[in-house]
Chain A
């Protein structure tokens, strides 16, 4: 099911001296999807994004967009546009001139480029800010301007480098809804680098989990969350316990881990109780395979509350155990 807008990485490699930042990564990003590159810092996700953008040279391998190798082209000729982590707005230019920058570089005359920039500003609801300077804007507003500046080049792929990390939590949730909406409206591919798994789950049609310079697992957000391939993915996505059952490692969702006073199961004792609103996270020690967490619905927990040091039994249904490959 290839579309003309597919972005494909072929054995993409980045080496800094003897350090390998990205190790022969091959992956197909289907066109028009919202993709999140997820991983801990130093896993190679930013290097991958910057290589796609053209701001980092490719040591080896190829990047194909619409069937053409773009890995040696200058950034502006790739059909990609990048939104930078700190937004990188030009501090000496007004909002409208920031957005119109790429058109000015192409030699488009002032009335035409200002008209196009004003349309872009309307798209991100910033039409009234055209004359402001970047320093007069809030973080969220700066981000919209950076978005408008990237989109005015009519990219086929928009690359976002940790776009929400500089915002406060409330704004982050609002902006991610807007990013998703914008992506649906424009129908272009968004590749979004983040280290927050909740952000990736909330946004992505497809989640690509990276670790140690390679892709650990890729797939639809629900699949990656419910069927992690490896212990690393299970732990990094969060909300999972890793248990050894029958000599093999298994992932068990924390919200499928039940706690009872007595009965059959794994005897444990309570090490921490953390109220999280809808759930209570109960930290459990004493299990042979390592510490566990049980996510108990609030009402259920307070019906028979446990306190630190209480002993309990952890239970699960065998169907909830998901085998891990390593």
Chain B
């Protein structure tokens, strides 16, 4: 019997397809980006090299710091809002909706916006929020305002609104998953110990929902920090985040510079995610 050996071989064979796919489509491109980030560029050409010019320029420019700051600002505000809305929705679904059928139905309704593309969902805000859009004309006709609100569209407001709209679902699902796993008798035990509703929320439900909150946080932060279309469409090209910095460089064929910015963004996101994983052990949720 040569079972152990054939087992090893089978193991490698089974792992091979995914390993190859990941190596070709994930690892290799990232290596390419890292290599190109050290290349040089002129206005009309790029040439292989090993120089730190791109990084020097990147870290030396005040624009970089401002844009990274803005990216973090978008990410943090979106995170706070999606967490607030997502937790509330998940809490409602888990503890106030009594039957499994309704829980599933309502959770599926949350996915309805995903039946169309991200871009269409973004653009659909424009006629709503525009100067003569539905929001402004309704408010005008109700007499709440006498002049159209200018900050509704092509502003930080519209960017954040869209981010929250698109990403809240990624917060709802993991939190709902953890909340549904909370044993209902724990809540009875807490009530037996004299805990009020808010005390139960703070002392029992929130601590037990931490892994779900953390997974949702990672989803939302990585999606928002890597985004460039939302900021472009919804700010009317008046705000920038790192994604737009990269896409601008690509548009100008400044691939080495774009690659360097990408590497810095990738490292930033990895540091943030590593930090978050240190805070909460999410392995028991997976």
- Decide if A74 touches B189 in the complex (CB within 8 Å): no
Tell whether A149 is near chain B: CB-to-CB under 8 Å. yes
- Decide if A88 touches B185 in the complex (CB within 8 Å): yes
Tell whether A17 is near chain B: CB-to-CB under 8 Å. no
Closest CB of chain B to A76's CB: distance in Å?
Answer: 3
Closest CB of chain B to A70's CB: distance in Å?
Answer: 14
Residue interface mask A83-115, B partner, CB < 8 A = 1: 011101111100000000110111000000000
- Decide if B207 touches A74 in the complex (CB within 8 Å): no
Residue interface mask B187-204, A partner, CB < 8 A = 1: 011111111100100011
Residues of chain A contacted by B191 (CB below 8 angstroms)? 54-55, 74-76
Partner of A81, one of B192, B195, B207: B192
Known: A105-B193, A105-B194, A153-B194. A92 touches B207 (CB 8 A): yes
Tell whether B43 is near chain A: CB-to-CB under 8 Å. no
Tell me which residues from 62 to 91 in chain A have a Cβ below 8 Å from any Cβ of chain B.
Answer: 74-77, 81-82, 84-86, 88-91
Closest CB of chain A to B10's CB: distance in Å?
Answer: 35
Tell whether B146 is near chain A: CB-to-CB under 8 Å. no
- Decide if A55 touches B188 in the complex (CB within 8 Å): yes
Residues of chain B contacted by A102 (CB below 8 angstroms)? 192-195
Known: A92-B208, A104-B203. A76 touches B188 (CB 8 A): no
Residues of chain B contacted by A84 (CB below 8 angstroms)? 185, 188-189
Tell whether A314 is near chain B: CB-to-CB under 8 Å. no
Residues of chain A contacted by B188 (CB below 8 angstroms)? 55, 75, 82, 84, 88
Of all chain B residues, which has the CB nearest A85?
A: B185
- Decide if A76 touches B199 in the complex (CB within 8 Å): no
- Decide if A75 touches B192 in the complex (CB within 8 Å): yes
Partner of A149, one of B185, B193, B199, B208: B193
Closest CB of chain A to B281's CB: distance in Å?
Answer: 11
In the bound assembly, the distance between CA atoms of A102 and B191 in angstroms comes to 9
Of all chain B residues, which has the CB nearest A106?
A: B194
The residue among A76, A85, A149, A150 with the most chain B CB atoms within 10 A of its own CB is: A76
- Decide if B192 touches A82 in the complex (CB within 8 Å): yes
Known: A84-B185, A105-B199. A90 touches B192 (CB 8 A): no
Interface size on A, residues (CB 8 A): 25
Of all chain B residues, which has the CB nearest A56?
A: B188
Residues of chain A contacted by B199 (CB below 8 angstroms)? 105
Tell me which residues from 38 to 76 in chain A have a Cβ below 8 Å from any Cβ of chain B.
Answer: 53-55, 74-76
Known: A75-B192, A149-B193. A90 touches B185 (CB 8 A): no
- Decide if A53 touches B192 in the complex (CB within 8 Å): yes
Tell whether B27 is near chain A: CB-to-CB under 8 Å. no
Residue interface mask B203-236, A partner, CB < 8 A = 1: 1100110000000000000000000000000000
Residues of chain A contacted by B183 (CB below 8 angstroms)? 86, 88
Closest CB of chain B to A106's CB: distance in Å?
Answer: 6
A–B Cβ pairs within 8 angstroms, 26 of them: A54-B191, A55-B188, A55-B191, A55-B192, A74-B191, A75-B191, A76-B192, A76-B195, A77-B194, A82-B192, A84-B185, A84-B188, A84-B189, A88-B189, A90-B186, A90-B189, A90-B190, A92-B207, A102-B192, A102-B193, A102-B194, A102-B195, A104-B203, A105-B193, A105-B203, A153-B193
Given known contacts A84-B185, A101-B193, A106-B194, what 4 new A-B pairs fall within 8 Å (CB)?
A: A86-B185, A89-B189, A91-B208, A149-B193
